[in-house]
Chain A
Amino acid sequence: MAQSQLARNEQLNGWAFVMPALVLIGIFMIYPILWSLWMSFQTGRGMQLSFGGVANITRLTQDPVFLRALTNTMIFLAIQVPVMLVLALLFANALNSSSLWGRAFFRTAIFLPCVTSLVAYSVIFKSMFAGDGVINQTLLWLNIIDTPIAWLADPFWAKFVIVTAITWRWTGYNMIFYLAAMQNIDRSIYEAARIDGVPAWARFWYLTVPMLKPVILFTTVISTIGTLQLFDEPNLITLGGPSDSTLTLSMYIYNLSFKFMPNFGYAATVSYVIVILVGILSFLQFLAARDRRS
């Protein structure tokens, strides 16, 4: 059936509006991601690459630095994301009560960190966690510790500092999502629950949390993606050290490509590890969210 003039115009216009974006995405995302896939099967130094089949993948399994970076990234993910999201949820829940005095102040204060530039806050944290720095001084003064902690020189504590820094920067950001979602919940639901004698913790756990599920899923996914790509903070605070204990996958890719003798093929293989991890984890999170619904 011949399309009428009107229908044809509608089609043409539709394409015209989305075309600039599609062309740019094609050039700067689709082409690179495919190229990068191709590259991951290449070996060699600099631009001198030759096909190496699965050589890079074999190398991955035997590369202690890669395994280090992978473990570190997974540790950051497993600890930082849940801690941050739970804190954000608790703060949001407290701030959602209309009878709380000083809500606007608390909200602004907790949100403030996500206004800072990543570089600025990273260097500030680096100075605060210095050996004789303000954090150690305060903890000594409070008698919480009796000898200064070597924050940035100890593998465990260096990880702790990175987790603390990211949590500081992003908790308020996630809290804002939860607050907005909570404000869309009909207040009369809570009033009905109170009349039914449901205690506060149960209102939170059985009413608020289930109703926030879509937002919780959203924040979990974006936080996961963000943490898997972690680069700025470790690169500025610890430079991946001490002895690679805070090296992340993104940093390793950067080092492989731009710091050492460039090895683009192997770096591309490592980058595909992140792609696959993001894919698997997002999929699992969606699956988990759906399971509980049915």
Chain B
Amino acid sequence: MSNIYAITTRSAQYVGLSIAAFVSVFPFIWMLLGATNTSPDIIRGKISPGGALVENVMKFAAQVDLPRVMFNSLFIAGVGAILTLIVASLAGYGFEMFRSRVRERIFGVLLLMLSIPFAALMIPLFIMMANFKLINTYQAVILPTVASIFIIFYFRQATKAFPRELRDAARIDGLKEWQIFLHVYMPVMRSTYAAAMIIAFMASWNNYLWPLIVLQTNDMFTLTLAVAALNAGYTPDFGVIMVGAIVATLPTLIIFFLLQRRFVEGMLGAVK
């Protein structure tokens, strides 16, 4: 009796998971197929490879200065992530290793600030950048993202697993606090840095709203903005857009498949 019940449950699970897996993966296939089809074919729902790949790629290359846009994206995401990591790991270490009642309270306030919506910040930030004459610069995109409370929180959680006795040993060995951070903490926490780097990089790479506000000329556009720009207008060329979508997705996809474990670790980090 219970055997039949178990088999039904299991079968239902397989069916459910298969549908979910298909639905999850199909848009990727659609993206790849789309890059080979003309825009009218895509709109007509043609589910087979076409012959327009070269044409789409050529059109994409003509409309988007890929090297420039790629550089912008990589520079903004790379520099932004590195600065975020430095600032956030210092703070995470500081909050966890040097306890004081005042700092504990400040940290509590920071946690509450996690839920401040960006929408409430973007207008003052925009005016601020305008006042600093930073509109349409890399700094304008990067600076507001550097102090990420989420990544500070992540580092603090991870620092809980950093053995305090290592710091004690290093103090007895005569290291100053900044030397302990540089020579002991950073090398020991390599994998935390790697995971945090992935989240920070991805967040910046995918960021749309803030770059849309502060970046205004094509030569400063990130890949995200460039693809979004292709989408604007009444008759977007979907073949070209698919090529752009592939280019925009590829880096994160590669990071995911190369560093799958770290990737997931990074996402989970903050709740562990």
Contacts and interface: CB of A to CB of B under 8 A. Distances in A.
A21 B91 contact: yes
A134 B33 CA distance: 12
Interface in A236-294: 236, 249-250, 253-254, 257-258, 264, 267-268, 271-272, 274-275, 278-279, 282
Nearest to A130: B43
Interface in A44-100: 47, 87, 90-91, 94-95, 97, 100
Contacts, number: 280
A210 interface: no
Contacts of A97: 13
A25 B110 contact: yes
A206 B263 CA distance: 31
User: Max chain B CB contacts within 10 Å: which of A17, A168, A225, A279?
Assistant: A17
| Interface-central residue, B47, B100, B228, B244, by most chain A CB under 10 Å | B228
A10 B25 CA distance: 52
Contacts of A116: 27-28, 249, 252-253
A33 B116 contact: yes
B197 interface: no
B contact patch SS: helix
B27 A132 contact: no
Nearest to B25: A109
A250 B209 contact: yes
B206 A117 contact: yes
B242 interface: yes
Contacts of B126: 257-258
Given A18-B91, A36-B124, A94-B13, A106 B21 contact: yes
Interface string B235-263: 01010011011101100110010001000
Contacts of A235: 208
A1 interface: no
Interface in B7-23: 9-10, 13, 16-18, 20-21, 23
Contacts of A225: 115, 117
Contact of A17 (B93, B149, B264): B93
Contacts of B117: 225, 228-229, 250, 271, 274-275, 278
B115 A257 contact: no
Interface size on A, as a range, is 35 or more
Nearest to B143: A28
B170 to A, nearest CB: 13
Given A136-B45, A137-B45, A236-B228, A18 B103 contact: yes
A139 B146 CA distance: 46
B30 to A, nearest CB: 6
Contact of A119 (B144, B224, B246, B267): B224
B120 A33 contact: yes
A153 interface: no
A120 interface: yes
A180 B270 CA distance: 12
Interface of A: 9-11, 13-18, 20-22, 24-25, 28-33, 35-36, 39, 47, 87, 90-91, 94-95, 97, 100, 105-106, 108-113, 115-128, 130-138, 168, 171-173, 176-177, 180-181, 199-200, 214-215, 218, 221, 225, 228-229, 231-232, 235-236, 249-250, 253-254, 257-258, 264, 267-268, 271-272, 274-275, 278-279, 282
Given A111-B264, A123-B241, 7 more contacts: A10-B98, A39-B123, A91-B17, A128-B27, A133-B45, A200-B6, A218-B271
By Cβ-Cβ distance, the 9 closest A-B pairs, closest first, are A17-B94, A14-B98, A24-B147, A21-B91, A134-B45, A32-B124, A120-B245, A109-B21, A137-B45
